[in-house]
Structure formats: structure tokens, C-alpha cells
Amino acid sequence: MRKSHDSVFTIGIGGAAGDGAREAGNTLGTILAELGYESFVSFTYPSLIRGGHNFARLTFSKEKVYSDHEALDVLIALNEESIGLHRNELASYAVVFADLFEQKDLAALGNNAVALPMAATVKDMNVPAITRNSMALGAICYLLDLDFELMQTALQKAFNGKQPETNIKLADMGYQLLKEKGFKHKKKISPSPEKKELIDGNSALAKGLIAAGLDFYVAYPMTPATSILHFLASKQKDSSLRVIQPESELSVINMALGIAYAGKRVAIGSASGGFALMQEAVSCAGMMEAPLVIAVSQRQAPATGLPTYSSQTDLRFVIHSGHGEFPKIVIAPGDPEESFYAGAEALNLAWRYQLPVIILIDKIISEHASTSLLKADKIKIDHGSVATELGEKYGRYQITSDGISPMAFPGTPNTIVKTTSYEHNEIGITIEEAGPTKAMLNKRFAKTETIIKSLDHHETVKIYGNRSSNDVIVFWGSTKGPVLEAAKYIKKSVKFVQIIWMDPFDVKKVTQELSGAKNIICVECNHDGQLAALIREKTGIAVTEKILKFDSRPFEPVSLAEEINKKI
């Protein structure tokens, strides 16, 4: 039995593929968000077309929830396997809701095991089997002492377009069943006053791209980046956005380069393996100075690895992507809310500086959801430097002090716009002489100096906790969730440093926040401590401790807090 914590409540939903565990988790999270709760929903599934165990885990509270917890207060078991797999995660007083006909050992789980006739009920009603989990959702709403009318209103919104009458009727039956049994309510957690939306990182990133004026999205499906493609494809009807799925990742990026050359705002996305196939064209984007956004979602590697599990193993690979030397920007948001703003910022940065901008996320950010506040009205579109006075000798690669040349696009009257993968002069004519080659390389890298001068205007680093503490926890990407959730259980007052911009690296800010610290503990999900090495390379500061996890699973916040407590 696991120890649960009073400030949070965790619900697990398990079943086979097709049982609707993920849908149930998202629906319950949406209901709780509508009622004003903060929540975090994760989803685990195997890399199988059919079958295998699917599990959704939802942790909620009145306060911000950064990550889910392992200890389960409630388990909804849609099949018998779910009880066996998650029995050891149950808190001592946990409630188990199990289907009446599938569970044979409810008595062994104690008095808090409740048989719900889910399968039998949907069969009698002659409705799809996947709707049966709605009965368990209703039972949970009673258990949590949620207002019955508010629950129905929230269900109506959550099931909009998804057989709302059937699902609400089943939820009502589950609610009444627990009420008739005289089941005691669990300790009530009051909601927070500010309502947010429950959203996963891929959807949030896609919304950010749209807010910044995305014209085209091009991608080939690859877990865990695929849902960016699906989300944006669903938005084509109501906008001028166009989404294309070519036959391979090679086609994806080369098509995107053509779109950028034509003057349209374009983004692409893939998982790490798909991005690996794109490397020659990434380098071409650097030479062409093409404004291109690339979303890269990491999964456990190398090779095929574990396609539906996560890691933070590609930081170095992405920073050094593309052969040769050329400027690029790499941003690593830590949650869906940051992914939204990173998507918009990346598109603007690509056009402002005319280079590839990479948004580095992972499976945890891509597919897990949390309550977030996304303010599209905060996004302003930056169209970059577009030439207004053009002549026959227009120089697409005109040398300027900041490295940024005025752009023009094919179709501009009386203007020839040349681009090439070959080294070139200011108007795009191929060259091989040493002097002009050096001049063009310096011209491109002048952008890096321009970007570095602007870093104070970007949130490259975030600070949490006690800013004056000599104990510092440094992290990046999806480890933000477990680290900040662990902060609730760390005994000492410590400082937390989240690094978001990986390239160019904000040497000034990172040095300022880490200098003089007694303990610097780097937390990341890879074997080599890639961020720790990057910090030392860029600042000369060595971390004193590393907490690394490389089994494809995220950190569990309470266990992480215990490990940090030992080190400080």
C-alpha cells in the first residue's frame, strides 16, 4: 500500500486497448477543470496496434498540480488485469470500482471495493461498450461530493458530440448507485477560483502556432508527435491553414523548405527518429536562411527504442542537428502552457531571424494533459524583415550588421529571388572563393550575436522557490512537473532553476543563478546528464550532484523529494 497526500487526490483508470481508459481520464479531467480544479492527466500504453494494458492516471487539487502521483486514492478497473497491475499502488484507504462480471477477488481488496455492473448495464441499454466507464465517472463524482447539477452540466460539455444523453444517463446511474449504498464521501477538496482548460502539450503547441499565423503544417505520423498533425488537420475547415501529410519525413522537410521559400509560415513535426532522417535538409535550411519551425518530441531510444515511452536523451543531438555550422534556436518548454507560448514564439523567431527554430519536447509533454491558461491575445505576429524597395539586383542574402537580410518571395514584381544549398554571394549566385565564403559564414553567425543581445527580452530561464538559497535544483523540459510537485515535500527551502533556451544558451542568466551555490543538483531523464554537461561547457560551472532516470518512465514526485532530501 502506498502513502497518499492530503493536498492531492489521485485516480487511476485501467483497461485493455479500446476500453476507453484514456477517454475516461480526459473526460474526468475536463469535468474537474470545468468545476475549477487543477489537474494533471497522464496516459500509459504499449506500442501495439491492439491489446495491451492502457492506464490513465489523474491527480487533482485546489492548488497547481505539476505532475501525477503514484499512490492511488481510487482505481477504476475496467478489467481484472488492472487490479493485479496496480494493487501495490493503492493507498491504504483506496476505493476500487470494478466491473461486476469481470472481478473475482473484490473481497480481498477490503470494504472499499465496489462492484459496478458496467458491462451488463451497457449491454442491456444496447449502447457502445466504451460508454460503460461513464458509470464509474458518476460514482467518482458522488465519492468526491461534487454537486449533482454541476456534475451534469460539466458532463454535458465534456461529452459534447459524443452521445451526451447516454453517457450522462450512465453517470447518473453510477452516482445514484453509490448514494444508495450509503457510501461515505471522501475528504472534499475545494476547487480554485480560476478556471483553466485541460490540454496536452501537442494541442497547446499547435494552438500557439495558429495564434502566430501558421499557414502550413507538414508532417508524417510518428509517436509521440502525431497528435499535432491530427489537431491541426481538424482546424482546416474553419481557417486558411493547410495541413499536408507526405509519404516520408524527407518529403516533409523538403516540402516545408519550398513553402518557406514561397513566403508562407510553415512548421513541421516529428519524433526523434523522424527528425534524424531530416538532417541534410536541416542543414539546407541553415544555408537557405529559411524561416522554419520544427517540433521534435523525444521518446525512449536509441533506434526504435520504446515508441510510446519518454526520455530526455536528444538534447545534444538537437542542439547539434544538421551538418556544418549555422545558427539555430532550440527552445525546451516544460509543460503544455509553456508549449503554447513556445509554439507562437518559435514561429515569430523563425521569421525575425530567418533560421530554423526547434521546439524540443517529449512524450510526457506531448501526450499528458494539465490545466492551463492559454491567452491567445498575448500573441503578436512578427512578420520579420520584408523588402519594400526592390530592384533587378535584389540581394536575398544582403550582408547587414545584424545578419538579417530583407526577405522577398517569388512573385514579387520585377524581382528575382534566388536560393540555393550551395554557398553563395549576396544575390544567391554560387561561389567557391575563400573570402566571400568567410564573409557569408560571418554574416549568418551575426544573427547569433543579435539573438544573444535580445535574450533579456525572452524567458530563457525561470526561477522558483527561495531565490537566495545555496541549494539549487536545476532541470529542463518535462522534469519540470515532477520537480515542482516534489518541491511540496522537500524539507529545506531551495531554489529551482528551469532552463528553457538551450541554443543560444543564456550564459549570463544561468551563471548569475548558479554562481556561489553550495549544492547544485541536476535532475533529468537521461543516462549521461546532458544538461549538466551543457551547463559546464557554457558556464564553467559543474553541478555537484545528478539525479538521473533513464528507464523511460518519468520521476515520481514524492520519491524524487525523498532523494533530494537525502542530498541536501
The stretch 346-370 carries a mean pLDDT of 98
| 500's grid cell | 528553457
Question: What per-residue confidence (pLDDT) applies to 190?
Answer: 72
Write the CB contacts of 451 (distance below 8 Å, at least 6 apart in sequence): 327, 329, 353, 504
Spacing of C-alpha 9 from chain mean position: 23
Question: What per-residue confidence (pLDDT) applies to 1?
Answer: 47
Pairwise pLDDT comparison (190 vs 238), residue with the higher score? 238
Q: Which of 378, 379, 395 is nearest to 387 (CA)?
A: 395
Distances (CA, A) of 26 to 40, 131, 177, 374, 560: 10, 14, 23, 18, 26
What domains appear along the chain, each with residue ranges and CATH number? 9-195 (3.40.920.10), 198-378 (3.40.50.970), 461-567 (3.40.50.920)
Average pLDDT, the chain: 92
Interval 66-95: pLDDT, tens: 999 999 999 999 988 898 899 999 998 889
Cis (ω within 30 of 0) for the bond into 224? yes
Q: How far apart are the first and last CA of the chain?
A: 28
| 282's grid cell | 536541416
User: Is residue 401 very low, low, confident or very high in pLDDT (cuts 50, 70, 90)?
Assistant: very high
* Confidence check: pLDDT of 240 > 50: yes
The stretch 111-123 carries a mean pLDDT of 87
Interval 15-59: pLDDT, tens: 988 888 998 899 899 888 888 899 999 999 998 777 789 999 999
* Burial state string for 207-235 with b = 16 or more CB within 10 A and e = fewer than 16: bbbbbbbbbbbbbbebbbbbbbbebbbee
Interval 423-475: pLDDT, tens: 999 999 999 999 999 999 999 999 999 999 999 999 999 999 999 999 999 99
pTM of the entire predicted model: 0.94
User: Is residue 2 very low, low, confident or very high in pLDDT (cuts 50, 70, 90)?
Assistant: low
Q: Which of 287, 244, 298, 303 is nearest to 268 (CA)?
A: 244
Question: What per-residue confidence (pLDDT) applies to 110?
Answer: 63
Lowest mean pLDDT among 59-73, 117-131, 468-482, 523-537: 117-131
